[in-house]
Amino acid sequence: MIELTGYSLTLEQIRRVCYGEELVSICPESMRKVQESRAAVEKIVAEKRTIYGINTGFGKFSDVIIEEDDVNLLQLNLIRSHACGVGEPFPEIVSRAMVLLRLNALLKGFSGIRPVIAERLVGLLNCKIHPVIPQQGSLGASGDLAPLSHLALVLIGEGKVHYNGKICSTEEAYNQARVNPIMLQAKEGLALINGTQAMTAMGVINWLEANELGYQSEMIAALTMEGLEGIIDAFHPAIHEARGYPQQIAVAKRMRVMLSGSNLITRQGEKRVQDAYSLRCIPQVHGASWQAFDYVKEKLEIEVNAATDNPLIFDGGETIISGGNFHGQPIAIAMDFMKIAAAELASISERRIERLVNPQLNDLPPFLSSQPGLQSGAMIMQYCAASLVSENKTLAHPASVDSIPSSANQEDHVSMGTIAARHAYSIIQNVRRVLAIECICALQAVQYRGVDKMSPQTRLFYEEARMIVPSITEDRVFSEDIERLADWLKKNNGCWTGLMEEKRGQGIIKNTI
């Protein structure tokens, strides 16, 4: 069980909660801070002090004073009116992450909610009741208002949820789980929706998937190196240490480890003096993507523990400040950066696919076909990869440089961070399919070269992958192969890495550089 404090949540813990469905609990000290913050809100209401979002309207209506008898209705109206998201829902795992992150932010004790709100969010996670949240409709400032309003609807018993493997009304799920709706009180609606948790939750899932794809891309590239009898000298440590980028050095080292013991790789001058860039520059290109992924991770680690609503309550209610922590610009830029970094993994992969299938660039059967001419082989798989790469180029256009004023120009600069995060997710899915295509082609190429000549590391991966996609002996519907292998990569992150570690522990594979 993971104890939440509002200050210490890590990406690895988010992985465990979202993918491993680990239970969560609240740190008692954090709950004490929540209680103190709530007492401050109740004091403000009792003293009839005018504070934004507690007894005023929202956005352009911030100058409208709300009567004490209506402060609770104000919060209900806020949630219902702002729940205007449209389009397909976020993946359920993103919805789960969103609940977790909103809970963690509220536990910092700056938001003025009652403990029952935090307890209900814990209940949603531990009972696996996940809000159905439309993807479109957020400007990324004032936070993710529309998506988080759909999350807040569930607390009051409205909207829809994922529960027991299906989508149903919140009312139906609550009846089955024996849960009662909550009546929101002063500031609680605003505290629930004024934040960056939609873009950040999507961003965390993006990073977790992209991080795995980075390692997978290297293993698949190593397979391609063997299929094309690539030159190992390009990964010599001296080259990469001479430049100095840690990520580039690390990629080169991993490539050497994966290819150690291979009889399919060559030395410079044996068959050719130099390889094409898509082989020779794997550490430089992949390493640059890792640099971006590291930057994104740093920003996400800050944001998942950030107070992002408005206003924030300090000093036991003595200091209440309206600010702009809900503005998603840090995550918007990070997601745009991630889009470029992920897209480049597919871009260089597609070039390696071309080298695997083009008979003018290798000595393999044309398009890896068993009967060139009669059988087209992998010809159109390269078309598919090229299409996905081109699509990624349009999706990689930065969202963070765009802004449209809203709320009668009161909110006159917005981040579009949720759009950036959503597009990053689409790019990552495309990247995985491109890597799946490279993998299918590389598997076929090393089969022609001789599986017995592969390195122990790539041989282990080859055997696992061949259980998913059989050898190409004749033309078939390759769409099914691509999707099946992409699904395997997504669901079995690191499966061969674990096998290699097991073999290393048994002394079968040496970690030789």
Active site residues per annotation: 52
CB-based contacts of 335, cutoff 8 Å, min separation 6: 199, 202, 203, 206, 296, 399, 400, 417, 420, 421, 423, 424
Cα→Cα distances 362→275, 287, 366, Å: 11, 26, 9
Contact 354, 382 (CB under 8 A): yes
How remote is the C-alpha of 261 from its chain's centroid? 35
How remote is the C-alpha of 395 from its chain's centroid? 15
Give the DSSP letter of residue 263: S
Question: Which of 130, 177, 181 minimizes the C-alpha distance to 155?
Answer: 181
User: Dihedrals φ, ψ of 204, to 5°?
Assistant: -65, -45
Question: CB-based burial of residue 94 (10 Å sphere; 0-12 exposed, 13-18 middle, 19+ buried)?
Answer: buried
How far apart are the C-alpha atoms of 327 and 307, rounded to whole Å?
11
* Coil, strand or helix at 67: coil
